[in-house]
Amino acid sequence: MTNNNQQFASDNYSGICPEAWAAMEKANQGHERAYGDDQWTERAAEYFRKLFETDCEVFFAFNGTAANSLALASLCQSYHSVICSETAHVETDECGAPEFFSNGSKLLTAPSVNGKLTPQSIREVALKRQDIHYPKPRVVTLTQATEVGTVYRPDELKAISATCKELGLNLHMDGARFSNACAFLGCSPAELTWKAGVDVLCFGGTKNGMAVGEAILFFNRDLAEDFDYRCKQAGQLASKMRFLSAPWVGLLEDGAWLRHGQHANHCAQLLASLVGDLPGVELMFPVEANGVFLQMPEHALEALRSKGWRFYTFIGSGGARFMCSWDTQEARVRELAADIRAIFAA
């Protein structure tokens, strides 16, 4: 039976996946030590090290804004700058948190192609000015998958990493939808991170079936010095940490994190295939993760809203974003596609 409450405005609309829910229920039995000194947090960290094939440092935060901001702050002094895409979440949707937690490190935006930074765009920003009157570039941050639903390939990441090393920059990855990127490419998490030169990854759990919770993975362990103190100071050290870490055990222990990403991606591909041929509808970006960006006339967008559909329109004039989730039902995707087709047939 179709869930008529399912919407496509955001993958944050979805509930908690069964694996995360079950793990939280198991963690709720009896007492455990507080502040991360518990079996669930240790198990989750070990699962990450196994999944990424390396002895990384692992920390947990409540949400992506905190994870990204604290990770970037750990890589910067206040007089440094961070190079990001002009569409990057840290630039457009985090209310100045990266600057706040770093005590002033400036974000420098670079042009992107389909949401992705290039070595050339990074080099241009990094070398634009090198005098003492300008904040010194220190970090490049990438989003994987990007804010427009595209995915960096391993060779693209390696080229960017080589540029970063050449310029003395650290490489941070905002992985709010990292699971979707892995699912699309069929690459291992290691191939898309430290093997390609990424120093720090913020691995998103919220958009992949968890209630709250992001993991910050330092592949360069030296950069993690005193990060636990930074988390505590920022209000991100959960006293009952097991309820942030246990859901990760549920997602990681049997591959649910990847299955959920694959399912969400599949639903996005299905939607694109059902409406992509319509005159008057244009795919704005390649559909590579769990988002579909459609260019449609304003009257069509209004007609969709009048039918009860919710979606965001923050990407250009006439651009609508439809996000699929771990629990999106194919029947609901087909209902949305049918309504879009009906509007253009009228």
Quick: pLDDT tens for 50-59. Answer: 999 999 999 9
Reported confidence tier of residue 345, pLDDT bands at 50, 70, 90: confident
* Residue 268 phi, psi (nearest 5): -65, -45
Residue 68: per-residue pLDDT: 97
pLDDT of 3 strictly over 90: no
Residue 4: per-residue pLDDT: 72
H helix or E strand, kind and range, residue 162: helix 154-167
Given a contact cutoff of 8 angstroms between Cβ atoms, the answer to whether 122 and 83 are in contact is yes
Given a contact cutoff of 8 angstroms between Cβ atoms, the answer to whether 13 and 329 are in contact is no
DSSP 288-301: -SSEEEEE--HHHH
pLDDT of 2 strictly over 70: no
Alpha-carbon gap, residue 168 to 127, rounded angstroms: 12
Quick: pLDDT tens for 29-77. Answer: 999 999 999 999 999 999 999 999 999 999 999 999 999 999 999 999 9
Percent of all residues in the chain with a pLDDT value above 90, rounded to a whole number: 95
Residue 346: per-residue pLDDT: 75
Alpha-carbon gap, residue 243 to 60, rounded angstroms: 11
Residue 317: per-residue pLDDT: 60
Task: Record the pTM.
Answer: 0.95
Residue-wise over 72-107: b if at least 16 C-beta within 10 A, else e?
Answer: bbbbbeeebbbbbbebbbbbeebeebbbebbeebbb
Instruction: Provide the mean pLDDT of the chain.
Output: 95
Residue in 206, 240, 290 with CA at minimum distance from that of residue 17:
206
Reported confidence tier of residue 314, pLDDT bands at 50, 70, 90: confident
pLDDT of 338 strictly over 90: yes
